[in-house]
């Protein structure tokens, strides 16, 4: 079945959109790492390796649930290399990170989702939504605002090498977001055969571009 990843800035409405879509369609939501696993007392490279291993676990869960549900929604990207691209590869280099995910791809332990839905909204609106949401503390909210433009730059590039698989939408409200997911899922054209090629182009993007 169809595996779709939802991404976007903090407070854009990703988690609420995922839950709303799941309630309306035959869908299973794979939460973010922080909501699936207890964070260990690790630092530096050990913590980064643990986080990447948990992304592989999230993908495994998505694949298992795709046998039961028409849709599986990943609340957050499996290949979250763009986060370290924005803030700096402190604990592991880009090449070390790429080597880890490349091996997992070759061993078919991880893959790109069938589609990405990237939600965005203006910073002023994000701040308003953050202040009206009492369910999450969002301690790193201001830091994560720095992600908006680089993240859109990255996913715009990905849309050029993954035709029909990346949709970038303004998140006016949850209802619109749900419709965007449904629309994008209809554009998926079966299994891609060039996963490694896409991955290497993605890594080249990080090598050759600044946030």
- What integer pLDDT is reported at residue 131 of this predicted model? 61
Quickly list H helices, 2-147: 14-24, 33-36, 44-65, 81-87, 94-106, 123-132, 141-145
Residue 66 burial by Cβ neighbours in a 10 Å radius (0-12, 13-18, 19+) = middle
The pTM score is 0.89
Contact between residue 169 and residue 177 where contact means Cβ atoms under 8 Å apart:
yes
Please tell me the distance from the alpha carbon of residue 185 to that of residue 24, in angstroms, as a whole number.
15
pLDDT single digits (tens) 86-141: 999 989 999 999 999 999 999 999 999 999 999 998 777 777 766 665 455 556 66
Token pair recorded at residue 208: 């050759």
pLDDT for residue 191 is more than 60: no
Q: Which residues, listed in sequence order, are joined to residue 168 by a DSSP beta bridge?
A: 118
User: Which domains are assigned to the chain?
Assistant: 2-208 (3.40.50.300)
For residues 143-169, average pLDDT: 91
Query: Which H or E run includes 120?
Result: strand 115-120
């Amino acid at each position: 079945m169809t595996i779709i990843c939802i991404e976007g800035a903090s407070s854009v409405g990703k988690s609420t959109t995922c839950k709303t879509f799941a309630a309306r369609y035959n869908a299973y939501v794979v939460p973010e790492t922080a909501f699936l696993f207890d964070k260990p007392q690790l630092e530096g490279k050990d913590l980064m390796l643990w986080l990447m291993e948990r992304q592989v676990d999230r993908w495994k869960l998505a694949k298992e649930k795709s046998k039961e549900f028409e849709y599986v929604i990943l609340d957050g990207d499996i290949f979250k290399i763009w986060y370290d691209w924005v803030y700096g590869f402190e604990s592991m280099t880009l090449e070390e990170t790429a080597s880890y995910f490349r091996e997992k791809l070759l061993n078919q332990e991880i893959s790109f989702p069938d589609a990405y839905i990237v939600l965005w909204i203006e910073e002023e609106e994000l701040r308003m939504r953050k202040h009206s949401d009492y369910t999450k503390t969002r301690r790193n909210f201001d830091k994560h605002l720095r992600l908006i433009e680089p993240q859109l730059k990255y996913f715009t590039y990905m849309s050029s090498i993954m035709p029909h698989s990346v949709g970038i939408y303004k998140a006016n409200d949850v209802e619109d977001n749900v419709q965007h997911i449904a629309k994008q899922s209809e554009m998926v054209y079966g299994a891609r055969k060039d996963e490694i090629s896409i991955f290497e182009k993605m890594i080249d993007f990080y090598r050759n571009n600044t946030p």
